[in-house]
Structure 1
Amino acid sequence: MRIDPVTLQIFANHAQAAADSMAFTLFRTAHSTFVKETEDFTTGLATPDGMTFASPRDLGATWFIGLDYANALKLIPDYRPGDICITNDPYSGFVCTHTPDLHMWKPIFWEDELVAFSVSHIHNTDVGGAVPASLSRQLTEVHQEGIRIPPNKLYAEGKLNQALLDVMLTNVRMPEQNYGDLQAQIAAMNTGERKVHDMVRKFGVDVFRQGVKDLLDLGERQARALLSRIPDGDYFFADYLDEDAPGGVPVRLALTLKIRGDEAILDFSGSDAQLQSSLNVPTGGAERHILLMVGYTYCLYSIDPSILLNGGITRPARCVIPEGTILNPKFPAAVGMRSMTCGRLQGVTIGAFQAAVPDLLPAGPAGSSAIMNVKTTDNRTGRLIMASIDPITGGAGGWSGGDGADGSGANSSFLKNTPVEINETEVPIKVLRYSLVPDSGGAGKHRGGLGTLLEFKVSSPNTVVTARNRDRTRFSSWGSNGGKPGATSGFWRNPGRNDVVNLGNTDVVALDPGDVILVTACGGGGWGPPWEREAKAVLFDVEQGKVSVQSAADDYGVVIRDGAIDETATTARRARLAAQAKPSVFAFNEQREAYEREWTDANYAALTELLATLPVHWRHFIKKRIFASLEQLPAQQRRGDGSEVRRAFELAVAEFPELRQAQAAE
């Protein structure tokens, strides 16, 4: 029997406070900069079956609302008071998302009854593997991405499994850093256990059990009510990662959002086949895997911020994710850079929902945050340093109610920046510039948010910088409802010098003393026609250094002379811009428009269909052969109807008789 609404609200407040208290404990006791400053961690409370019912709102990552630990919980045969379990293996239970993500859970008992789990996760700066910080899109199998720990008991009835801990710490580059964060996780879970005991004492165990169930049911009812307000229909959207590896080919993520009454189907069937790079997202085929549902959660919360954030809101939705694709790869596919794919995937989901309710959701988010890590030696002490120094975040998309937030990261805004003073104290680098990028936000009635910029100099030989999630140098965020796309990102070694190198989407860079790194993030898309933006708002942006005088005239039609608006010239220019406009829901940058003239929806449909007939380990190879073949095809022979893809596929398959053997073996 449901508990009354007043008691349920009080219960919900207690559960929320418990999760927040756990997060505060972890935040205040963590060791690494990436956890204590950037805040890439989560805490929460889960049901005995593993569904998260309480998560913090103000601290840590927001990706894991509704994280389901069920499959991981089943891999531990029994639970006793004092147990603490651990895993970072992406393929064991599919609760971890890549090897640096260390998930832990602690059973909470009341009078010998298991009533809940206290759960937490942190992103370790490094867990060993082929490169510092463990992650690069160039890695090809999960074995290269650091030590993997399948679900195990780190503590059994309060007794530490020292051998397991020793193995883990022996295989990482900064063991004291990992151990410090591990202790912070344990402290957070102990806090959660105390808070649950307080709740049981206050409400009674029967009300506690029913309250957890009712919270999840309420989340589901609210989500269904919201979905029922969206018109029934099929809404398609696609976006791309620039390339599978430096010098590679684009990676497509496609979604058909099917709204049917109070339910939603997220069909990702048009997304690319499994890759020979680390951009794959390990979901195990779970139709409500949390990494597939983040964009869905963001959209629901953006439409109605009063919705209850717990696992119940995922119940009315399910995902379609064919096996052997980028969103459901087969072992041992590399998955370390899944965070970049997830960021783009969230944008794709936002785009599909925006197609359904264009006035309720923002234009394209930056969708890419370069996580900058430095491995170097401190010249003063000779000590090895391995640290994360900053997420270089892009801007949020403009929306019907206002501009996108500058440098917020948009859908990754939970990643906090690290103050320059802390970076220079903890890592032997010299920060030269840290700022916003002028003109990077897409022009619009409501401007897209600006991207951020970081420039720093290193001082030791054998320094390695890893720029995880580097992307958006080719395909930028999209504009909406007449707004323009945001600017692309950039990455350079020694800018302004004779030995300057454009690093593009390279994510591992070896540096010498005195070398300088400059990285910029892309901007968010603009919303609404730029010439409808208030001229005074454009002038203010120019005064703030956010928009150049040239962009004010070219994009917004606002002519500024000697620091003032030329009213006559502005009226004339805005009239011309309005007359030349071609209304559309979405506006993409020139690089994407040119790419999609060759790689049409029909060509991609043929590619998806044909690759699905191949053994998984052949798919990426044949895809690249098809891309290479089409690059050589004369423009007059390109029809865009899928026929050129089918012909290239036939030639590629005929070239390799071994492929036929592999097909027969399956």
Structure 2
Amino acid sequence: SLDGLGEFIFSRTRDAMVERIKAMPKGSWSNALVTDGYDEPVKLAATVTVRDAGVEVDFTGTDPMSRWGINCPIIYSKAYACYALKCVVAPDIPNNAASLAFFTVSSPVNILNAVRPAPVALRHIFGHMVPDLVLGAIAKAMPGKILAEGAGALWNIHISVRPVSGGSGRRAEVLMFNSGGMGARPGLDGLSATAFPSGVHTMPIEATEHTGPIVIWRKELRPDSGGDGEFRGGLGQVIEIEAIEGHEFDFSAMFDRVNHPAHGRNGGGPGVAGVVRLDDGTQMRPKGWQHVPAGRRLILQLPGGGGYGDPSKRSTEARANDRSKEYISENGK
């Protein structure tokens, strides 16, 4: 039987969590984020309360459910809230029933606690914003220890490619997972084009092109997109997509941080907002199904992460290194 070993692991985990939570400041701290939403901005709100018995997160104050599929079930919101807490309280302690038992998450019915039959297909958009929301509250309790806000939600895109009317060719459905920049950390720059909090990777562009009649002309870091600071926010990326000759495509945009970029921390500047457009300058919406005609290219400019600390303290050497890295990315050399 493994029961004895399991109890040993749980008891050690439980004792370690008690020790970590005991060392935290006690009280309640609140934070709010304004996100792009679908057809209007959406406010997310959280209050984090730390007691000797554990840590509570309450999403009271968050905007109501939406008629669009951007609602998030409470189980998804709870998972990402606990992830944020775990990163701060005990990143080195195993995730198990004993460690997670110290975290409780509650909410009235709202966009982070959607109930049936609310549409939830794009739950990841606001679910991936929950860690920044929770960390923003904890930053007030533990100044100088929490990273800046990042791009948050993945820039997922579903592409439906087909031959132009009357033509011949291939049809295909292509899904890409793309990441903006992480927020800068106390003592370190943010990671560029890196998924946080999801950790998901995407396929190489060669594999993506193999799945359907599309060409990805560019996939590179986006210069100057990270927020300024003593430690710079992670860079977003630029992705340029076109259907092959004789084809057109529709795409489902699942993006955020277009109208509300990531905030910096402790004096750091905001990350640069995302942009969705065609190569002729036509602006596209950050969410919903849209059309790209044959011969046009879709350009995605993913948002950067917020900076951390006073920008005047960033060293000359670090700034020179920033430009060198961006030049290499921009020119492919």
Alignment TM-score, normalising by the size of structure 2 = 0.90
1:346 deviation in Å? Answer: 1.7
Question: Deviation of residue 328 (structure 1)?
Answer: 2.1
Specify which of 74, 80, 88 is matched with residue 294 of structure 1.
80
Q: Deviations over 1:344-381 (max 9, x none)?
A: 11210111122211222211121122112222247999
Aligned to 2:262: 477
1:156-555 equivalences under 5 Å are 205=1, 208-243=2-37, 245=38, 248-283=39-74, 289=75, 291-302=77-88, 304-322=90-108, 324-377=109-162, 382-388=169-175, 390-412=176-198, 414-459=199-244, 460-461=246-247, 463-468=249-254, 470-493=255-278, 495=279, 497=280, 500-545=281-326
C-alpha distance 272-221 of structure 1, shift in aligned 2 (>3 A):
farther
| DSSP 3-state at the match of 1:543 | helix
Q: Distance in 1 between matches of 2:17 and 2:67?
A: 37
For the residue of structure 2 that corresponds to 1:211, the secondary structure is helix
**Counterpart in the other structure of 1:606:** none
Separation of aligned partners in 1, 2:169 and 2:80: 43
Question: In structure 1, the residue corresponding to 2:70 is in which secondary structure?
Answer: coil
Structure 1 runs of 4+ aligned residues shifted over 6 Å read 378-381
- Report the Cα distance in structure 2 between the residues aligned to 1:504 and 1:467, rounded to whole angstroms: 7
3-state DSSP of counterpart to 1:527: coil
Are the structure 2 counterparts of residues 238 and 394 from structure 1 closer, same or farther at C-alpha, using a change threshold of 3 Å?
same
Q: Measure the CA separation in 2 of the matches of 1:456 and 1:209.
A: 54
Shift, 1:342, TM fit: 0.3
Per-residue displacement from partner, 1:301-352 (whole Å, max 9, x unpaired)?
Answer: 3554321122332211211211x31122232111111100101112101111
Unaligned runs of 5+ in 2: 329-333
- Relative to structure 1, the CA distance from residue 221 to residue 272 in structure 2 (aligned partners, 3 Å threshold; closer, same or farther) is farther
More helix per residue: 1 or 2?
Answer: 1
Q: Cα offset for 1:274? A: 1.8
- The verdict on how the C-alpha distance between 1:329 and 1:306 changes in structure 2, with shifts beyond 3 A counting, is closer
Displacement after TM superposition at 1:543 (Å): 2.3
Q: Counterparts of 2:90 and 2:230 in 1: how far apart (Å)? A: 23
Q: Does the 8 A contact of 2:222 with 2:238 survive in 1?
A: yes
Residues 273 and 302, structure 2, Cα contact 8 Å, conserved in 1: yes
Distance 2:146 2:93 in 1: 16
Q: Deviations over 1:619-643 (max 9, x none)?
A: xxxxxxxxxxxxxxxxxxxxxxxxx
1:586-597 pair list within 5 angstroms:
none
Q: Is the 8 A contact 2:77 2:113 kept in 1?
A: no
Residues 215, 222 of structure 1: alpha-carbon distance in 2 compared, 3 angstrom cutoff: same
Query: What is the alpha-carbon distance in structure 1 between the residues aligned to residue 32 and residue 124 of structure 2?
Result: 18
Residue of structure 2 in register with 1:550 after alignment: none
Residue 490 of structure 1 deviates from its aligned partner by: 0.7
Give the direction of change, closer, same or farther, for the CA distance of 1:546–1:297 in structure 2 (3 Å limit).
farther
Deviation at 1:401, TM superposition (A): 2.2
In structure 1, give the amino acid aligned to 2:207: I
One-letter code aligned to 2:101: R
Instruction: Output aligned runs, 1:79-90, within 5 Å.
Output: none
The aligned amino acid for 1:385 is: A
Shift of 1:242: 0.9
CA distance in 2, matches of 1:540, 1:514: 37
Deviation at 1:290, TM superposition (A): 5.0
CA distance in 2, matches of 1:520, 1:304: 35
CA contact (8 A) 2:147 2:185 kept: yes
Distance across 2 between alignment mates of 1:215 and 1:467:
44
Larger radius of gyration: 1
CA 280–290 in structure 1, closer or farther in 2 if over 3 Å, else same = closer
- Per-residue deviation, 1:546: 6.7
For residues 546-593 of structure 1, what are the alpha-carbon distances to aligned partners after superposition, in whole Å with 9 as ceiling and x for unaligned?
Answer: 79xxxxxxxxxxxxxxxxxxxxxxxxxxxxxxxxxxxxxxxxxxxxxx
1:221 offset after TM fit, Å? Answer: 3.3
The letter of the residue matching 2:59 is: F
Question: How far, CA to CA, are the matches of 1:309 and 1:318 in structure 2?
Answer: 15
Listed as ranges, the gaps of 5+ residues in structure 1 are 1-204, 284-288, 548-666
User: 2 CA distance for matches of 1:214 and 1:378?
Assistant: 61
- Contact map agreement 2:177 2:201 (CA 8 A) in 1: yes
What residue is the counterpart of 1:643 in the other structure? none
Q: Structure 1 residue 433: deviation in Å?
A: 0.8
- Measured against aligned partners, the alpha-carbon deviations of 1:53-94 in whole angstroms (never above 9, x if no partner) come to xxxxxxxxxxxxxxxxxxxxxxxxxxxxxxxxxxxxxxxxxx
Q: Contact (CA 8 Å) 2:156, 2:178: kept in 1 or not?
A: yes
The 3 A distance-change label for structure 1 pair 257 and 453 is: same
Q: Secondary structure at the match of 2:129?
A: helix
Alignment deviations for residues 406-439 of structure 1 (CA, whole Å, 9 cap, x no partner):
1112323x22132121122222111111111111
Cα deviation for residue 506 of structure 1 reads 3.1
Q: Relative to structure 1, is the Cα distance of residues 296 and 249 closer, same or farther in structure 2, using a 3 angstrom cutoff?
A: same
1:462, distance to aligned residue in structure 2 (A): 5.3
- Distance in structure 2 (CA, Å) of the matches to 1:545 and 1:463: 31
CA distance in 2 between counterparts of 1:261 and 1:527 reads: 30
Aligned residues: 325
| Counterpart secondary structure, 1:544 | helix
Distance 1:546 1:407 in 2: 16
SS class of match (2:240): strand
- Using the alignment, how far apart are the partners of 1:304 and 1:267 within structure 2? 20
State the AA in 2 paired with 1:525: G
Q: Is the 8 A contact 2:253 2:285 kept in 1?
A: no
Aligned to 1:64: none
Give CA deviations for 1:115-153 in whole Å, capped at 9, x if unaligned: xxxxxxxxxxxxxxxxxxxxxxxxxxxxxxxxxxxxxxx
Task: Give the alignment's TM-score, normalised by structure 1.
Answer: 0.46
Task: Rate the CA distance shift 1:400–1:546 in 2: closer, same or farther, 3 A.
Answer: farther
- Contact 1:473–1:504 under 8 Å retained in 2: no
Alpha-carbon contact 1:219-1:311 (below 8 Å) kept: no
Cα distance in 2 for residues equivalent to 1:518 and 1:364? 24
- Which of the pair has the greater relative contact order for Cα pairs under 8 Å at 6+ separation? 2
